[in-house]
Chain A
Amino acid sequence: DAGVTQSPTHLIKTRGQQVTLRCSPKSGHDTVSWYQQALGQGPQFIFQYYEEEERQRGNFPDRFSGHQFPNYSSELNVNALLLGDSALYLCASSLLTGAGETQYFGPGTRLLVL
């Protein structure tokens, strides 16, 4: 049973560019959440997708956007990259049951903005 997968593993961009990160959820899961983890800090919630719609959003600017596809996979897009966007981006999947679902994390994508 494949777990959560993310691509790419590493990415280097320059300021002002745009980036797309991808996530495939664990088999049987229908909900995808994205988190940003700056170096030495705990992850911060960006947003969550369910049934191809953004279900909840954290305190991140509109430069951060996402998408969920019919097969439940998801993309995170970041426009107009800033140096401060350098971080580990984690995707987590879960099954929406309305009862505090456990989230399972992928290995992350390390983004470096120069």
Chain B
Amino acid sequence: AQTVTQSQPEMSVQEAETVTLSCTYDTSENNYYLFWYKQPPSRQMILVIRQEAYKQQNATENRFSVNFQKAAKSFSLKISDSQLGDTAMYFCAFMDNNAGNMLTFGGGTRLMVKP
């Protein structure tokens, strides 16, 4: 079974600065997908970014980018120019396409952006 680990339960960052959230996963599969989701206090889970394991290029979405290290099974999220609206729980998630399309989530990192 796949596992996803987020080793930072809580983090804080000053507005406009950069922060990196860590995620590691364990799998024996070669074909899979990785996601970062954001869950603000309003609780609606929102997709931040997605990475296909077969792509070497790291995904980027505006201020959000990932550092995908397949050999190390690491998938960190970098948030640049942090904004107050980035305050939320962030979940890393894994999807093994060969075993259906269920998402396996990490335990989450609570990010607080301070003014």
Contacts and interface: CB of A to CB of B under 8 A. Distances in A.
B105 A103 contact: no
B103 A103 contact: yes
Given A41-B107, A102-B35, A102-B50, A48 B97 contact: no
Interface of B: 4, 32-33, 35, 37, 42-47, 50, 52, 91, 93, 95, 97, 99-108
A105 B91 CA distance: 13
A94 interface: yes
A108 B39 CA distance: 11
Contact of A107 (B32, B43, B104): B43
Given A42-B106, A42-B108, A102-B50, A108 B101 contact: no
Contact of B102 (A42, A48, A88, A108): A48
Given A41-B107, A102-B50, A33 B43 contact: no
4 closest Cβ contacts across the A-B interface? A42-B105, A100-B33, A105-B45, A56-B100
A105 B101 contact: no
A68 to B, nearest CB: 15
Interface residues of A, number: 29
Contacts of A56: 99-102
A42 B3 CA distance: 12
Contact of A33 (B52, B91, B99, B102): B102
